[in-house]
Amino acid sequence: MDGEHEAGSRELAVFGGVAVQSSQPSDQAVVAVLRDGVERVVGHCLGVDLTWTTTAVVASDDLSTGNADIGRPGIDWDFALGRGEPLVSVTATATAMEGYDWHPKWLPVTVRATMPVTVPHGRGDGGGLVVGLSMHSWALYGGGDDLIRVADVLTSWLLDAADRLGADTGYTTLDRVSAEDDQSPWERVTGCLPALRDVTQTLWGYGWGTLLSPVHVEAVGGRAVLESLREVLPAVDLRDVGGGRTWLTLGPDPASIRPGDVAALRHMLAPALPRGTLSVDRPGGEQLVV
């Protein structure tokens, strides 16, 4: 993560998400992916009691007043799809520490979609659609000791989401990151603005698992370059998945990744990573980890 941003206030979390710009999935498809994340991933990985809240925001909501009717207790997908306008964002947040919103452990799970919106001086789609799911390590069964099983479940959901939504890219990571964020850790540490994001050409982020489109594979130099990463990291696995995409993982266990592994991956992916206003080589920037 970015060593300069919220390092002391965030919990270590398992995150998975996809970014979409070259297709326009319906609100119904997006909400179906969120529902699957709750049922297929959270339901099989979390070992703590959860109290859910569902939030759905549309363009006409005036959030500045605090009076907008945007939330419901529990998981209420019908509410999310019944707002009467295209959705801007949908969040299903588990509030296991209800009443302690100041505490870092307050939101052990967040499942969120942020929809494309018109942004002045941006691409026009506000960085496209991003869908993410994050789970605090401490809240997982066994306190997060078995991340291999968690990674398998999360990967299955992420790749299914990529197929259903026509995603351009995505990633999974073990980091101090939340699905509440629109920015990936890479975007935060390098100052890349979501409004200027173009995942049809560059990656959204990277991590233990990275989803690359054919355009991204070509940008790094082709499949042979991806294969060459095994010379440094023998556990690297490459899978051809739906839509001509490539799913790259750094071994079976996200918890076993070392900073040197991250540096090797980042070096290989550099031609496909967006460039921001800040250098990852600045003091603190090198602490980006996955």
Question: Could you read off the pLDDT of 133-150 as tens digits, one per residue?
Answer: 999 999 999 888 889 999
Question: Could you read off the pLDDT of 42-100 as tens digits, one per residue?
Answer: 999 999 999 999 999 998 999 888 888 999 999 999 999 999 998 989 999 998 888 88
Is 60 exceeded by the pLDDT of residue 290? Answer: no
> Could you tell me if residue 212 is inside a domain?
yes
| Reported confidence tier of residue 119, pLDDT bands at 50, 70, 90 | low
Is 70 exceeded by the pLDDT of residue 7? Answer: no
> Could you tell me if residue 226 is inside a domain?
yes
> Could you tell me if residue 5 is inside a domain?
no
Is 70 exceeded by the pLDDT of residue 218? Answer: yes
> Could you tell me if residue 4 is inside a domain?
no
Cβ contact 194:117 at 8 Å: no
Cβ contact 104:176 at 8 Å: no
Number of domains in the chain: 1
Q: What is the pLDDT of residue 200?
A: 95
> Could you tell me if residue 8 is inside a domain?
no
Q: What is the pLDDT of residue 287?
A: 47
**Residue range(s) defining the domain that contains residue 72:** 13-60+68-287
Q: What is the pLDDT of residue 232?
A: 92
> Could you tell me if residue 111 is inside a domain?
yes
Q: Distance of CA 193 to CAs 23, 177, 206, 210, 211, Å? A: 21, 17, 16, 20, 20
Q: What is the pLDDT of residue 207?
A: 96
Q: What is the pLDDT of residue 101?
A: 85
Cβ contact 219:272 at 8 Å: yes
> What mean pLDDT do residues 105-124 have?
82
Cβ contact 217:228 at 8 Å: no
Q: How far apart, in whole angstroms, are the C-alpha atoms of residue 174 and residue 151?
A: 10
